[in-house]
Amino acid sequence: MKMDRSISRLRGDRVTLAHGGGGRAMRDLIEEIFTGVFQPPGNEDQARLTSAALQEPGAQLAFTTDGYVVTPVEFPGGDIGKIAVCGTVNDLAVGGARPLWLSASFIIEEGCEFDLLRRIVASMAREAEAAGVAIVTGDTKVVEKGSCDTVFVTTSGVGVIPPGRDIGAAKIRPGDVAIVNGVLGDHGAAILAARGDLALSTPVQSDCAALGHLMEAVLAAAPDVRAARDATRGGIASALNEMAAEAGVTVELRDEDVPVRAEVRGMCEILGLDPLYLANEGRLVLFVPEAQAEAALAAMRRLPEGEGATVIGRAVEAGRIPVLTRTAFGGTRIVDMLVGEQLPRIC
């Protein structure tokens, strides 16, 4: 049962170093804010898990981990907790795995408000339930003020790849079609606007979303999906460069086919940014044989996370340049890997 907030054992309204000291204050913090919401199975130092999916002959275990830092920790369309769940679910899903379990580790800055932690944890619980995963174990650490930026979250995820499912960038072939599930760059633009450093205002919200259900729908409709990547840090440009390099192909895009909101494009023009490099937290790019492209698009468009699915390019025989885009003027330009940092702390 969830703890009754009316009988809170926490004193004050902020985290202190005592809440990381291993004593009663730490136990109260963990039980009231974390385990009271996540309700992990058991109370041991490890989660003990079983799933019928693991018993299928040929099934593979998929495991991933990632750390999340973002400023501000709450922003239009999400927060650091939502990113932590969605990002790890997506890392499993784009490899063909069905996500099952997550762990969550929190580095909390002294002085962090309890109410902020409650909102982050509630957000994580909602996203985990929607994605069909359970948060089964975790950890907390409290550090001195100034040692971290409010709160950092690390999540690890475990999933199962069903027998016979084998997708990866090395399987991309010339002629395969590149598809994205919606407009690009919303997350990076939302974070930039939320900081307020540049006196910019935009109604854009983060695209943060878990894509496990979307991938399952696509794989059911287009079983020969070659590969998929979520386009997070470095944007779609970095994801495509990584995939092209692994496959030994060139990916050709067309500027007019890349979906970007007018508000995001306008912000990029003002700041000298390229939307192809803006971070996304609910967007993936996948490659499918041309014969299955329409089936994949139809499956994606039936779900809220894929309503804006569209073809943005295709793989061709390898040339000297891994990724290029054809401009509206009939020329081409190189789409290289991101060099340096375009936006700090976006995921």
In this structure, what CATH number is given to the domain that contains residue 249?
A: 3.90.650.10
Q: For residue 2, is it within any domain?
A: no
User: Which range (51-60, 61-70, 123-132, 302-311) has the least confidence?
Assistant: 51-60
Please check whether residues 130 and 184 belong to one and the same domain.
Answer: no
Q: For residue 268, is it within any domain?
A: yes
Q: Find the domain containing 298 and state its range.
A: 169-334
Please check whether residues 150 and 252 belong to one and the same domain.
Answer: no
Please write down the HEC assignment for all residues of the chain: CCCCHHHCCCCCCECCHHHHCCCHHHHHHHHHHHHHHHCCCCCCCCCCCCCHHHHCCCCEEEEEEEEECECCCEECCEEHHHHHHHHHHHHHHCCCCEEEEEEEEEEEECCCEHHHHHHHHHHHHHHHHHHCCEEEEEEEEEECCCCCCCEEEEEEEEEEECCCCCCCHHHCCCCCEEEECCCCCHHHHHHHHHHCCCCCCCCCCCCCCCCHHHHHHHHHHCCCCCEEEECCCCHHHHHHHHHHHHHCEEEEEEHHHCCCCHHHHHHHHHHCCCHHHCCCCCCEEEEECHHHHHHHHHHHHCCHHHCCCEEEEEEEECCCCCEEEECCCCCEEECCCCCCCCCCCEC
Please check whether residues 140 and 252 belong to one and the same domain.
Answer: no
Which residue has better confidence, 35 or 211? 211
Tell whether the model's pLDDT for residue 34 goes beyond 60: yes
Please check whether residues 194 and 307 belong to one and the same domain.
Answer: yes
Please check whether residues 59 and 177 belong to one and the same domain.
Answer: no
The pLDDT of residue 68 is: 94
Q: For residue 183, is it within any domain?
A: yes
pLDDT tens for residues 127-149? 999 999 999 999 999 999 999 99
CATH number of the domain at 92, please. Answer: 3.30.1330.10
Please check whether residues 196 and 146 belong to one and the same domain.
Answer: no
The pLDDT of residue 285 is: 97
pLDDT tens for residues 275-289? 999 999 999 999 999
Q: For residue 3, is it within any domain?
A: no
Number of domains within the chain:
2
Please check whether residues 237 and 184 belong to one and the same domain.
Answer: yes
Q: Give me the mean pLDDT over the 216-220 stretch.
A: 97
Please check whether residues 134 and 181 belong to one and the same domain.
Answer: no
Domain boundary among 144, 161, 178: 161
pLDDT tens for residues 231-272? 998 899 999 999 999 999 999 999 999 999 999 999 888 888
The pLDDT of residue 197 is: 64
Q: For residue 343, is it within any domain?
A: no
Q: Whole-model pTM?
A: 0.92
